[in-house]
């Protein structure tokens, strides 16, 4: 009998746990699960392998791979996986975050709202589309506004669950700026809910992570008022 410490349950084997996680959209960690050898294969070799796998899936589905509209699809999907929608898996693509002295002594909250989120659900490999709202309170340093967008984009470009993505954004900014006073709220639609299964096109998912001063109710309320998200946390 194995124990899943994060959830306090016991399971008979890994497959049972994976099935539960998949059905319930639960993240097992704030760290993206990667193998130790994840980057030993070159991007070119990864694309070649994925191309073969996608072609096999399409052939298994009965598609005519000689058709002009389909024959280039495996290569396009392989390039998209490695160079675009999952590019955030590779540490070489991590944005360099420069911080600067807060010479103008701005001591209030800074909020960057409505940052576009394009990610991919790791359970069904379907899109997650929404907005991230990120804030921090300077403890002596500031960060370029575009870097906040780039951090969101980097962590979004990998197979994700929204809870983990929210935590990763906050933790990265905390590391870069040397402060706990960082917050993030994400409001997003999951096509695994909207286009399959229950097929509820109206629902969206809201997640939040509040660090440092943002754990204070008044500070948290100020942040939520800025982003005009009428949600109780």
Give 110's contacts (C-beta < 8 A, 6+ positions apart): 135, 136, 137, 138, 142
List of long-range contacts for 110-114, beta carbons under 8 Å, 24+ apart: 110/135, 110/136, 110/137, 110/138, 110/142, 111/135, 111/223, 111/226, 111/227, 112/145, 112/148, 112/149, 113/226, 113/227
**Catalytic site positions:** 121-124, 162, 190, 192
- β-bridge pairing 109-121 and 159-160: parallel
- Per-residue b/e over 5-40, b at no fewer than 16 CB within 10 Å? eeeeeebeeeeebeeebeeebebeeeebeeeeeeee
């Amino acid at each position: 009998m194995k124990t899943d410490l994060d959830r306090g349950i016991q399971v008979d084997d890994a497959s049972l746990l994976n099935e539960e996680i998949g059905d319930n959209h639960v993240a097992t960690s704030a760290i993206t699960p990667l193998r130790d050898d994840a980057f030993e294969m070159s991007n070119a070799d990864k694309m070649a392998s994925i191309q073969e796998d996608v072609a096999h899936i399409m052939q298994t589905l009965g598609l005519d791979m000689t058709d002009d509209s389909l024959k280039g699809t495996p290569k396009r999907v392989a390039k998209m996986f490695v160079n675009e929608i999952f590019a955030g898996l590779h540490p070489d693509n991590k944005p360099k975050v420069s911080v600067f002295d807060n010479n103008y002594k701005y001591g209030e909250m800074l909020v960057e709202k409505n940052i576009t989120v394009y990610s991919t659900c790791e359970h069904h490999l379907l899109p997650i589309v929404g907005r991230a709202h990120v804030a921090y309170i300077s403890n002596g340093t500031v960060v370029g506004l575009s870097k906040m967008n780039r951090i969101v984009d980097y962590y979004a470009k990998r197979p994700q669950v929204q809870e983990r993505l929210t935590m990763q954004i906050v933790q990265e900014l905390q590391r870069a700026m040397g402060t706990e006073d960082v917050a993030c709220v994400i409001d997003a639609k999951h096509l695994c809910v909207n286009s399959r299964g229950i097929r509820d096109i109206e629902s969206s998912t809201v997640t939040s992570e509040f660090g440092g001063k943002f754990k204070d109710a008044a500070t948290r309320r100020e942040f939520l008022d800025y982003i005009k998200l009428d949600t109780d946390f």
